[in-house]
Structure 1
Amino acid sequence: MPSFDIVSEVSIQEIDNAVNQAQKELASRYDFKGKKYDLVLDKQKCEMKLTADSETHVIAMADIINSKLLKRGIDLVSLDVDKIKPVGGMMMSQSIKVKQGLETDVAKKITKTIKDSKLKVDTQIQDKQIRVTGKKIDDLQEVISLLKEKQQELKIPMQFVNMKN
């Protein structure tokens, strides 16, 4: 039976590349000369930590990292941005987590959207992805096009992988 999986994954390598580009840009910017700042990526936790000596510098760092992520094709909706907090020693910090996989409530919304479309397919939530199966490949392709249209509404980047006939 034909099937495919709906996932929401972000390439950590692309994020690492964007962080490296941002670090290079920060090193060459005049408004960061002589200032204390740090931009670190924890690949295991999928989290970026921005630290600087003022809130405006943290905001500027976040803008730079966001522009680098966009240039690399990473949707900013997949980021979970915390508030800027003081960390002591006159330093401010902000952490940005990268969402990996579909959260349960989002997976349920996607499943409901597919069921409401009345297409003859079955959906099954499996951990952080959704498996969609159907008798006809055309039905599966209709599901993909439907979800691409609804992607802005659902506010989550989705990829469609493991298409099997």
Structure 2
Amino acid sequence: MADTFSFDVVSNFDQQELVNVIDQIRREVTQRYDLKDSGTTLEVEKETITVVANSEMTLQSIEQLLLQKAVKRNLSLKIFDFQPFEMIGGNRVKQQINLRKGLSQELSKKLSKELRDSIKKITVNIQGDSLRVTGKNKDDLQQAINLLKKQDLEVPLQFENYR
């Protein structure tokens, strides 16, 4: 039997599910009456989604579609960081949507400190964009998970490699 138990705290999302969401939106844009002739384009890069539309109202419709489809695909809405839209040439608007992935250094330090202060019997290590929580007792780790779940953070948290 193992001496210590551990788990990792990460902030991640399923990239393929995001691709599926974008494909569904593109399909709906070509079929829906109010969006059909709008010339709306969606482009996905590694960490951003760029939406170009002919009006602010169309942009808001696409934003609502994105949120609805993401929920249906079990993607957390916290991964989307909507930037303000900007006017571009030809009476068109453009919006960047940044995708949040990984824990920032400041957030990792904050979570690490809160866990160590509230549960004395665990150790927390920052490993790049994730946290490794270790302890001798599984109950302490469960308490740490519950403490993290109660936090209202700007990024979604997942718990992996529970050993």
**TM norm structure 2:** 0.92
Which residue of 9, 16, 21 maps to 1:13? Answer: 16
Q: Which residue in the other structure is 2:65 paired with?
A: 64
Partner of 2:159: 160
2:50 equivalent in structure 1? 49
How far did 1:34 drift?
2.1
Deviations 1:76-116 (A, max 9, x none): 11211111011212211001111111011211221122123
Amino acid at match of 2:38: K
What SS class does the counterpart of residue 48 from structure 1 fall into? strand
Aligned residue for 1:89?
Answer: 90
C-alpha distance after superposition, 1:51-85 (max 9, x if no partner): 01111111111111111111111111121111101
Report if the CA contact (8 A) 1:10-1:98 is conserved: no
In the TM superposition, what is the alpha-carbon distance from 1:163 to its structure 2 partner? 1.5
1:4 corresponding residue in structure 2: 7
Q: How many residues align?
A: 160
Cα separation, 2, equivalents of 1:19 and 1:83:
20
Q: Find out whether 1:105 has 2:106 as its counterpart.
A: yes
CA contact (8 A) 2:119 2:140 kept: no
Normalising by structure 1, what TM-score?
Answer: 0.91
Taking the aligned partners of 1:134 and 1:33, their CA distance within structure 2 comes to 56
Q: Is the 8 A contact 1:106 1:154 kept in 2?
A: no
Which structure 1 segments of 5+ residues have no match? Answer: none
